[in-house]
């Protein structure tokens, strides 16, 4: 059931990424909705789910793009795995920690992506620092907002608590 | 493996997925040499494995070959020895054939040179008694041979036919103690009679004390006995001694090596003296 929800979330993020971001992006500020979903899932479900979500989402994203298939997948796998660990080892329930996690996750994601590009001799980005910073900021904002939106939904908190309780039993 | 177990081994799963991604990326990216990284890495790893395997196989093969070689070396050595012996025998046979061909060629040359009607014969046996110096040849009366026909060789006079049969004939050598032939010293034309003494040398008798004979002079047939054609080589004067008031004692070294004869020519053309004798008989 959770796998289906994660898959659906990833698919929705891909659809939104390919349709809506062109209206949202301005200048160097870009948002990777797929990465946001991966980090969100990892924070909510743990490292394994985050890892698998990152793998699937990254590979699909790579396939749909023109780059080397696997770079995005690897980056999102690492990010999902580490985000899951952070979500289980630390209390990430307030907006600021979530913002930092999304921001840091994006930095790591971009570092891995750009680093692999450099290692493999791929064409470098024009201004990586500004782009990375802008994307990290945008992802953090969108991710934090997504958390807040979900938690504000009616009964969302209760459902989340009940789910955690069942898991512990 | 349940989901719980997977969660307990998240690190392994992470490593596995990461490795999978690395492989996936490597498969798409070219190295500096233009070969895909995955292919280059895979090829490199497999090449090393192949190198190691090849070395191992080569080592085992070499050891086995050496072991097998040692096992077969004795047998091979024996075979090689047999082959060497066979080759040596064959070489000797070929050398003998060459010598025989050379001898036959010399006989042929002699026949052409003498302009006499001859027939070649092969020596098939030697004397039955050491007291007599004879040979047996493979030609007889069926080939036109008769008694007292001269037998010659490229080196000189050999002897005469003494006992012809249908397909063979006995030849009395000139060195036989019962053999004799008219002779003359080619340089001084001094005449005498060559007689065999049963040894390797001949004696030239009835040469006048006043005759000019020296060591090394060539002695040839005179043809006076009616057997040997005139002018054929008998040998060279070996020693000249004063035997008495009338004659010299002369020894002659035969020109023919009787111990090395293999083929001879039998002179079919009768000498003039023989023809005259036959006519007188008739």
Alpha helices in chain B (DSSP H): 3-8, 10-28, 37-114, 272-281
- Residue B167's H or E segment, with its range, is none
Q: Which residues from B are below 8 Å from A69, CB to CB? A: 24-25, 28
Q: Does B35 touch chain A (CB under 8 A)?
A: no
Q: Does B37 touch chain A (CB under 8 A)?
A: yes
**Would the pLDDT of B281 be above 60?**
yes
Tell me whether residues A55 and B28 touch, CB distance under 8 A. Answer: no
Task: Give the span between the Cα atoms of B254 and B222, in whole angstroms.
Answer: 15
ipTM of predicted assembly, 2 dp: 0.71
Phi, psi of B134 (to 5 degrees): -130, 165
Tell me whether residues A116 and B10 touch, CB distance under 8 A. Answer: no
**What secondary structure letter does DSSP report for B76?**
H
Q: Tell me the pLDDT tens digit for each residue of B203-252.
A: 998 888 888 899 999 999 988 888 888 888 999 999 998 877 788 889 99
| Mean pLDDT estimate for chain A | 82
C-alpha A151 chain-centroid distance: 18
- B 186-205: CB under 8 A from A: none
Proportion of chain B above pLDDT 70, given as a percent? 87
Residue A53 CB contacts under 8 Å (≥ 6 apart), including other chains: A6, A10, A37, A38, A41, A42, A45, A76, A80
B69, HSE (Cβ side, Cα atoms, 13 Å): 6
Task: Give the span between the Cα atoms of B134 and B163, in whole angstroms.
Answer: 10
Which residue of A51, A116, A121 is in closest CB contact with B10?
Answer: A51
* pTM > 0.95: no
Give the three-state DSSP class for B156.
Answer: strand
Per-residue model confidence (pLDDT) at position B234: 93
Per-residue model confidence (pLDDT) at position B29: 75
Task: Give the span between the Cα atoms of B129 and B133, in whole angstroms.
Answer: 8
User: Which of B170, B112, B180, B116 lies closest to B140 in space, CA to CA?
Assistant: B170
Q: Tell me the pLDDT tens digit for each residue of A63-120.
A: 777 678 888 899 999 999 999 999 988 888 888 999 999 999 999 998 998 888 888 8
Task: Give the span between the Cα atoms of B276 and B282, in whole angstroms.
Answer: 10
Residue from A56, A74, A123 whose CB has the most chain B CBs within 10 Å, to mutate: A74
Contacts 24+ apart (CB under 8 A), A11-14: A12/A37, A13/A37, A13/A57, A14/A57, A14/A60, A14/A61, A14/A64
A29 class by beta-carbon count within 10 Å (0-12 exposed, 13-18 middle, 19+ buried): middle
């Amino acid at each position: 059931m959770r796998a289906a929800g994660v898959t659906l979330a990833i698919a929705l993020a891909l659809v939104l990424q390919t349709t809506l971001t062109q209206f949202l992006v301005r200048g160097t500020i870009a948002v990777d909705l797929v990465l946001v979903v991966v980090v969100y899932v990892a924070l909510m479900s743990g490292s394994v789910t985050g890892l698998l979500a990152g793998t699937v989402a990254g590979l699909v994203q790579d396939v749909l793009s023109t780059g080397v298939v696997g770079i995005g997948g690897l980056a999102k796998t690492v990010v999902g795995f580490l985000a899951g660990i952070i979500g289980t080892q630390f209390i990430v329930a307030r907006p600021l920690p979530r913002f930092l996690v999304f921001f840091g996750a994006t930095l790591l994601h971009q570092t891995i992506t750009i680093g692999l590009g450099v290692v493999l001799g791929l064409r470098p980005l024009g201004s990586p620092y500004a782009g990375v910073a802008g994307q990290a900021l945008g992802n953090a904002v969108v991710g934090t907002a997504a958390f807040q939106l979900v938690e504000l939904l009616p009964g969302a908190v209760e459902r989340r608590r009940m789910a955690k309780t069942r898991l512990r039993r | 493996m349940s989901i719980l177990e997977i969660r307990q081994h998240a690190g392994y799963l992470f490593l596995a997925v990461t490795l999978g991604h690395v492989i996936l990326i490597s498969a798409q990216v070219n190295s500096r040499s233009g070969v895909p990284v995955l292919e280059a890495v895979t090829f490199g790893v497999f090449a090393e494995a192949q190198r190691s395997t090849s070395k191992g196989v080569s080592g085992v093969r070499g050891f086995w070959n050496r072991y097998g070689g040692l096992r077969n070396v004795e047998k091979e050595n024996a075979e090689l020895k047999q082959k060497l012996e066979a080759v040596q025998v064959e070489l000797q046979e070929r050398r003998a054939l060459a010598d025989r061909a050379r001898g036959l060629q010399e006989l042929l040359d002699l026949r052409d040179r003498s302009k006499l009607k001859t027939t070649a014969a092969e020596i098939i046996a030697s004397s039955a008694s050491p007291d007599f110096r004879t040979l047996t040849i493979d030609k007889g009366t069926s080939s036109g041979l008769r008694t007292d026909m001269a037998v010659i060789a490229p080196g000189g006079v050999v002897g005469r036919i003494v006992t012809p049969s249908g397909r063979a004939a006995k030849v009395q050598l000139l060195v036989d103690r019962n053999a004799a032939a008219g002779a003359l010293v080619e340089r001084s034309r001094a005449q005498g009679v060559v007689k065999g003494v049963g040894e390797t040398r001949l004696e030239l008798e009835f040469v006048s004390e006043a005759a000019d004979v020296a060591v090394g002079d060539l002695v040839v047939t005179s043809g006076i006995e009616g057997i040997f054609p005139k002018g054929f080589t008998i040998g060279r004067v070996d020693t000249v001694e004063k035997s008495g008031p009338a004659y010299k004692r002369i020894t002659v070294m035969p020109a023919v090596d009787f111990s090395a004869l293999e083929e001879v020519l039998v002179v079919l053309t009768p000498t003039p003296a023989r023809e005259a004798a036959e006519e007188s008989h008739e």
